[in-house]
């Protein structure tokens, strides 16, 4: 039941976002609004029937998901930093290579 409640909440949030997007693009029909209100009422009813253990388990799952998101965001940040450092070092290496090529061509021109 806990997973059902979780999925209902997720569906409710996604439909709320979709309803908001539709309201900005097109005027929503009364049927769509009624369906949305019924689904929202159903989700609220299921949440009100949930026991405290189920709510605590749902909270723990949400904490676990947020911890995973935190880890993924940290990994993404480190990846971006690594690419920035790699690009900077590649740029510096390219500058050194161009400088060596110039010195080599000047040295060859002097010998001739």
Mean pLDDT in consecutive groups of 10 residues from the start of the chain, 112 residues = 66 70 59 86 76 78 81 90 95 95 85 65
**What is the rounded CA–CA span in Å between residue 83 and residue 70?**
20
With 0-12 / 13-18 / 19 or more C-beta atoms within 10 angstroms meaning exposed / middle / buried, residue 22 is: middle
pLDDT of the residue at 112 = 62
Token couple for 76: 């993404």
pLDDT of the residue at 93 = 96
Which of 112, 5, 22 has the alpha carbon at shortest distance from 59?
5
pLDDT of the residue at 65 = 81
pLDDT of the residue at 30 = 80
């Amino acid at each position: 039941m806990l997973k059902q409640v979780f999925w209902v909440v997720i569906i409710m949030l996604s439909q709320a976002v979709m309803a908001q997007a539709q309201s900005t693009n097109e005027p929503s029909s009364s049927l769509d609004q009624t369906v949305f209100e019924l689904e929202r009422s159903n989700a609220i009813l299921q949440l009100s029937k949930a026991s405290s253990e189920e709510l605590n388990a749902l909270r723990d799952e949400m904490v676990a998901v947020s911890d995973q998101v935190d880890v993924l965001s940290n990994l993404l940040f480190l990846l971006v930093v690594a690419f920035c450092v790699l690009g900077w070092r590649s740029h510096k290496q390219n500058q050194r290579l161009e400088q060596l090529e110039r010195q080599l061509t000047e040295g060859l021109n002097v010998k001739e």
